[in-house]
Amino acid sequence: MVGAILDAINQVPSPDYFLEVVEFEIKGPQQPSIRAITQFVTSQIEMADYESLAELQQCDLETLPKWVLEDQRVRLVIRPIPKNAARGKPGVRSIGIYPVAGGLVRDQESIRDRLAEKAKKFGPAEVPVVLAINTQTKWGADRDDVIGALFGSEQVVIDVDTREGRPSRARDGFFMGSTGPINTRISAVLVTSVQPWSVSRSRIAVFLNPWAKKELPDGVLPFDFSRVVDGHLRVAAGRSPGEVLGLPASWPEEND
């Protein structure tokens, strides 16, 4: 149940803030209302004043306010942390810091290494090959981590003459290695963070390998597609697992 609630909070749009879950306690055997929790978080985000919170953040993180939801079933304490570079950026999970374990999570390396293990099981193929990975951590997979795992870590290259920097990617990805394109027998990678209780709210992202020997035809998979076009990663929206399976958005119904 804890995973389901955290997953639902991660689905709440929070373009201006990372959410720190300071405290989270389920008090008894009764299941808390996921809908009530997400409505509470949404309303707090909408009422928050970004400029005021950003000013407080400059002084001390501990001066930021805490949003408290408490009833007979649950106690939830959240602190909003104003985003800087990530403000308004799509594909960034809402929860940035978890209780106890805490910390901003980067799982780029684990995604890349797991895909490399899977790829070893496939030799030359006459048809397109798609690798799938379902991250089972409580925080899910951040889009930036997935892109870094596939195409290489973000870096800045400095021109020795002009001293100016330009963004680039290191050659340490699943699709691009130190010697150039690798794993070219893999046509695409499918990434999701779906649990049985979050099927209706989850998304599945398909990343096409621009150097694949066998191209994956359009329309084979009905999910979100990302492909490299003119050096930029472009996304074509598809259907969610819930839509494909014909599930209502509220599935499974929680016990209010």
First to last CA, the chain: 14
Q: What pLDDT score does 140 carry?
A: 53
Q: Is the dihedral of CA 221, 206, 189, 234 positive or negative?
A: positive
Helix (H, G, I), strand (E, B) or coil at 232: strand
Are 102 and 61 in contact by the 8 Å Cβ rule? The answer is: no
All residue ranges of the chain with pLDDT < 50 are: 101-105, 138-139, 255-256
Mean of pLDDT over the chain: 84
* Chain segment 62-120, per-residue pLDDT in tens: 788 999 999 888 889 999 999 887 788 877 778 887 765 444 445 788 889 999 999 99
| pTM of the complete model | 0.60
Measured CA to CA in angstroms, residue 106 lies from 85, 147, 149, 152, 199 at distances of 16, 12, 10, 14, 23
Going from N- to C-terminal start, the domains of the chain cover 2-97, 108-245
Nearest Cα neighbor of 204 from 239, 232, 153, 166 is 239
